[in-house]
Amino acid sequence: MSMRLPVSNPDNKLPNIAIDGPAGAGKTTIARMVARQLGFCHIDSGAMYRAVTLLALERSGESAVADEGTAYLIARDLDIDFLTGTEGDLRVMVQGDDRTEQLRSNRVDRYVSVVASMGDVRKELVAKQKELAEDGGVVMDGRDIGTHVLRGAEVKIFLTAAPSVRVYRRLRQQRQKGVHLSWDEAEDTVVQRDRIDSTRRISPLKVAVDAVTIDSTHLMRRDVVSQIEFILASVIRCPNGG
């Protein structure tokens, strides 16, 4: 199914779509597909926390990655851009360099939840996220987009999947990059990140009251995308009220 949606609202702004959910639910892939389908801009907010973690690791090493002062300064000065690669894939530019692959490394995976639980880092990155979405037409995926960053988003999706499927997707994703994890290793990173992300004090992962939950355990990606487009169509009014 392909569609361009007639949009009508008082500010003449395109709607925003928030997609939240646990690790390995497929948020970034789905957000990317929805954005391409609609001609919207895709903002992967997790990549912003990953970028701060990567730069903190490079600057201070694993022993000092939890230093809040350093992480805050990195977040404050973060220069991040989301571009489309030649294959239609998402390329993430950090301080002017394409760091897409490094952002998804195991080392970043291990520490990113710790960095993402720092209040000052979140404040800086949330401000940037809000700014990026202020003109509408954005699909943003993360953990607190519907509950905090874009509370007014026209469409809010909570995308989830059974834990074993999420671990399997994580294994497959790493294997495609030539990294071979055991099931236990993949399970550890997914479970541990879920625990930290949903129990942290500031903006923990939770379902927004006005979000629609989609369980993708038994769904093809294109079916998830169709469901989101359907939900969007149901909240958009045509100029003639139709």
Of 8 and 164, which has the nearer Cβ to ligand DC? 164
- Of 193, 211, 224, 229, which lies in the binding site for ligand DC, with binding defined by CB under 6 A? 193
189 binds ligand DC (CB under 6 A): no
The Cα 46–Cα 134 span in angstroms is 19
The Cα 53–Cα 196 span in angstroms is 15
Three-state secondary-structure class, residue 119: helix
Of 143 and 169, which has the nearer Cβ to ligand DC? 143
Give the pair of three-digit tokens for residue 152.
Answer: 């007014």
Of 100 and 236, which has the nearer Cβ to ligand DC? 100
The Cα 228–Cα 18 span in angstroms is 10
Of 21 and 136, which has the nearer Cβ to ligand DC? 21
Residues 48 and 125 sit within 8 Å (Cβ to Cβ) = yes
Residues 140-179 that bind ligand DC (CB under 6 A): 142-145
- Of 50, 99, 128, 156, which lies in the binding site for ligand DC, with binding defined by CB under 6 A? 50
90: left (phi over 0), alpha (psi -120 to 50) or beta: beta
Q: How far is the CB of 5 from ligand DC (least distance, A)?
A: 25
CA 87 to chain centre: 20
Q: How far is the CB of 153 from ligand DC (least distance, A)?
A: 13
45 binds ligand DC (CB under 6 A): yes
Q: How far is the CB of 6 from ligand DC (least distance, A)?
A: 30
Q: How many helices (H) and strands (E) does the chain have?
A: 9, 8
Q: What Å distances lie between residue 217 and 126, 141, 194, 220, CA to CA?
A: 30, 18, 17, 9
112 binds ligand DC (CB under 6 A): yes
The Cα 132–Cα 114 span in angstroms is 24
Q: How far is the CB of 46 from ligand DC (least distance, A)?
A: 2
136 binds ligand DC (CB under 6 A): no
Q: How far is the CB of 109 from ligand DC (least distance, A)?
A: 8
Give the pair of three-digit tokens for residue 210.
Answer: 């006005």
23 binds ligand DC (CB under 6 A): yes
The Cα 23–Cα 163 span in angstroms is 9
Secondary element (H or E) of residue 215: strand 212-215
Of 16 and 113, which has the nearer Cβ to ligand DC? 113
Stretch that binds ligand DC, among 7-15, 63-71, 109-117, 222-230 (CB under 6 A): 109-117
Stretch that binds ligand DC, among 73-81, 83-91, 94-102, 139-147 (CB under 6 A): 139-147
Interacting residues with ligand DC (CB under 6 A): 23, 45-46, 49-50, 112-113, 116, 142-145, 193, 197
